[in-house]
Amino acid sequence: MSLQQMRDVSAAVLTSMTEEECADWYRKRGTHVIRHRDRYWKETIRGFYQPLHWLARLSVQEANSPTPLSWGFQTTLSEVDAIAANASMPIHWLPNLENYDFQSMTSNRRNQLRKCYKRVNIVHLDKPTLLQQQGYEVFMSALKRTAYRQIPAKKDYLRGLAGRTNPERRLILAGVNGEQLLGYITGHAVNSTAYIDEVIIASEALSTNIGTGLLFEFAQVCRRSGLIRELVNGLHSREDENLCVFKEGMGFQVKHIPAKVQMNPIIEQFIQWRYPHKYYRLVGRQLPSHQIFTSTQNTNSK
């Protein structure tokens, strides 16, 4: 493994994109992006749309379906238009990022971070070489443990690296022990918001507390940027108590961002019945389901 592909994490930088730059980045990765009222949307699942920038906080005028072919959409709303919200987006959110440091964590997480630094070297990857060489095995180990999604073929994983490892658009930090890759974290930033995209850790490396080290160092890169004001660590996974406890110990809070949601009522009822936790992540704190559809119809008819 060449040291040329690794950089000191203290010198790592996460460059924020504009929404337009983010849209161009997604297009180059093969994502179909729709521009609607000067905001950019993507199809997250077939027929359902969200802005590329989750916390774009659209105005009421901007917050409507980007295409007549959709069965639904979800978007956050601006503070001014929060009164029009019929739902919320529940996220793991780091408050007071500019002052986030060692003392921001619980004592348990601080102890884990000390242990991590003794066993793991956190580095910045500005080239995909290490992930091309060892990333798939780590990725496969993590997915076997979490069952988060199906394990892709190695050729598909390697193909995906080409679009995901752009140092001008995405930050990648890795945890290594000697020449062995133990895990990695990736993320990007749009305007003043940073998003953690993936935290991938080999099962055999969990005892090193690498997850604590990767997350802490990622937040430090964001803090040093001077431009990033908030850090989002995924949607609230209320069904995974251990994960929620871990994130809380790292200083992340569950925050409900005012949102507007529109769904076909039949599909909505099915999701609510079959996938209650996914439904929660779509609507968060919401009005009764019939009001979600009715209020949206009233808005669209004006």
Tell me the pLDDT tens digit for each residue of 90-120: 999 998 899 999 999 999 999 999 999 999 9
Report d(CA 238, CA 177) in Å as an integer.
33
Q: What is the pTM of this model?
A: 0.90
Has residue 167 got a pLDDT over 80? no
Average pLDDT over residues 201-228: 96
**Chain mean pLDDT for the chain:** 91
Average pLDDT over residues 256-279: 96
Quote the pLDDT of residue 95: 87
Positive or negative: CA dihedral 172, 173, 176, 181: negative
Percentage of residues of the chain with pLDDT beyond 90: 80
Question: What's the chain look like in SS3?
Answer: CCHHHEEEHHHCCCCCECHHHHHHHHHHCCCCEEEECCEEEEEEECCEEEECCHHHCECCCCCCCCCCCCCEEEEEECCCCHHHCCEEEEEEEECCHHHCCHHHCCHHHHHHHHHHHHHCEEEEECCCHHHHHHHHHHHHHHHHHHCCCCCCCHHHHHHHHHHHCCCCCCEEEEEEECCEEEEEEEEEEECCEEEEEEEEECHHHHHHCHHHHHHHHHHHHHHHHCCCCEEEEEECCCCCHHHHHHHHHCCCEEEEEEEEEEECHHHHHHHHHHCHHHHHHHHCCCCCHHHHHHHHHHHHHC
Structure tokens at 289: 């389901």
Quote the pLDDT of residue 294: 39
39-45 and 87-94 beta bridge pairing: unpaired
CA 204 vs. chain centroid, Å, equals 24
Q: What is the pLDDT of residues 24-72, one digit of tens each?
A: 999 988 899 999 999 999 999 999 999 999 999 999 999 999 999 999 9
Q: What is the pLDDT of residues 247-259, one digit of tens each?
A: 999 999 999 999 9
Report d(CA 191, CA 201) in Å as an integer.
28
The residues pairing with 72 across neighbouring beta strands, listed in sequence order, are: 48, 263
